[in-house]
Amino acid sequence: MTAFWAEPDFDAHECVQLVHDRASGLTAIIAIHSTHCGPAAGGTRFWHYADPAGAMRDALRLSRGMSYKNAMAGLPMGGGKAVILADPAGTKTPAMLAAFGDAVEALGGRYVTAEDVGITEADMVAVSQRTAHVSGLPVAGEGSAGGDPGPFTAMGIFLGIKAAVRHKLGKDSVAGVHVALQGTGSVGGGVARLLAQDGAKLTLADINAARAAELARELGASVAASDAIMSTACDVFSPNALGAILDDEGIARLDCAIVAGGANNQLAKAGHGAQLSARGILYAPDYVINAGGIISVALEYLARRAGAPADINEVRKRLAQIPGRLESIWQDSDATGTSPDVVADRMAQALIGRG
Ligand code: NAD
């Protein structure tokens, strides 16, 4: 046990709940990193892990990331995350989601859940039958706040990429800027559409090659093989798939001026941010640029608790603050020679009382 608490990824989590429901077969981890700023908010990931240690590592790293993300977005929420350990076939049943809802409810509001990779809006509706501490539920009408966080995340990333292009390349528009985009799912697909509308040149890749090809056809973009996208010569590499891609080998392969995308935990280890800086690559800290979804999810949750609809204008106002937050991190980084990830971590740690 001592060894577990000494693990770097544990990072003084307030609570780590191991969940097993024999009847449904649900196995899950709910990690609550910090409730300093409010109830711990963060989505649920449904994923098949090669081993349970990998699931624990993911839960802990994602949960800490949520503490930092929510604090930096100025939300009155702490940070937490859940992972449901899927079998190799990805079996997901109503009974499992019900048992997961019961586990969230048992935490009495200390943890608020929503969608993440592998979890749909319909799954969250199922979870909401068993707990009130859930968000990302369907909302009425186009342009309403709340619901699937993907489009809000994508909008924040789009604004963040424009800020990075301004800071690094001195351009006020992404027209003609070449973006190589990894992952064309909910977030990556949304980012690609917004960039295409503004005239960016796009190269897309996904391990689901048909998905990337279909989007490329829609947007008039090029496609690259998923193992070639990181070495594509471009202005911006935008990771929107899974984390830990920026390791020694990944960073050495990059041929870009900027890394800015929505995937959580892009840096494999502390120190990889400094490697990007040493290569002259501007990095947009992941939990700052991808906060759009949690902004919507948190405001939806808080509004529902208050018995009112979430205010779309408030969501938009907070999304519009993402570029300024990134710019202040980059300015601090430029002035101090400290890499942007470390600057952001220090700001976030101060906000959650762990400076
Ligand atoms: P998604 O499941 O809709 O899409 C992910 C896509 O990435 C899929 O199309 C998948 O085939 C592809 N992919 C997986 N591994 C790949 C690889 N090695 N190379 C290329 N493509 C690969 O998930 P999403 O909701 O779009 O989330 C994407 C990332 O953004 C995740 O890291 C997630 O944690 C993060 N994120 C999502 C949100 C949100 O609102 N959905 C918010 C913040 C962060």
Give domain status of residue 74, yes or no: no
Same domain assignment for residues 20 and 55: yes
b/e sequence 214-242, b meaning 16+ C-beta within 10 Å: bbbeebebebbebeebbbbebbbbbbbbb
Examine residue 307 and state whether it is found in any structural domain, yes or no.
no
Residue type for 336, please?
Answer: T
pLDDT tens digits, one per residue of 273-291 = 999 999 999 999 999 999 9
- Does residue 206 have its Cβ closer than 6 Å to ligand 1? yes
In a domain, 337, yes or no: yes
Instruction: Count the domains in the chain.
Output: 2
pLDDT digits (tens, 9 = 90+) for 215-274: 999 999 999 999 999 999 999 999 999 889 999 999 999 999 999 999 999 999 989 999
Same domain? 156 vs 100: no
- Residues that are catalytic: 81
222 and 123 within one domain: no
Q: Find out whether the beta carbon of 241 lies less than 6 Å from any atom of ligand 1.
A: yes
The residues of the chain scoring below 50 in pLDDT are none
Identify whether residues 232 and 346 lie together within a single domain.
yes
Determine the structural domain holding residue 85 and report its residue range.
4-64+79-128
| Percent of the chain predicted with pLDDT > 90 | 90
Q: Are residues 208 and 112 in the same domain?
A: no
Q: What is the DSSP string of 131-174?
A: -S-B-----SSTT-SSS-SHHHHHHHHHHHHHHHIIIII--S--
User: Could you tell me if 122 and 241 lie in one domain?
Assistant: no
Q: Is the CB of 186 under 6 A from ligand 1?
A: yes
Residues 48 and 96 in one domain: yes
Mean pLDDT of the chain: 95
What would the two tokens of residue 311 be? 């205010």
The verdict on 200 and 260 lying in the same domain is: yes
Asked whether residue 46 is assigned to any structural domain, the reply reads: yes
Domain for residue 134, yes or no? no
Q: What is the pLDDT of residue 142?
A: 65
196 and 342 in a common domain: yes
* CATH of residue 112: 3.40.50.10860
Which atom from ligand 1 is nearest to the alpha carbon of 150?
A: 40
Closest C-alpha residue for ligand 1 atom 41: 150
157 and 284 together in one domain: yes
Tell whether 228 and 179 lie within a shared domain.
yes
Q: What local confidence, expressed as pLDDT, does residue 139 receive?
A: 84
Residue having the nearest C-alpha atom to atom 33 of ligand 1? 263
Is the same domain home to 343 and 257? yes
- Rounded to whole angstroms, how far apart are CA atoms 315 and 293? 10
In a domain, 298, yes or no: no
Q: What is the CATH number of the domain that holds 330?
A: 3.40.50.720
Q: Is the CB of 183 under 6 A from ligand 1?
A: yes
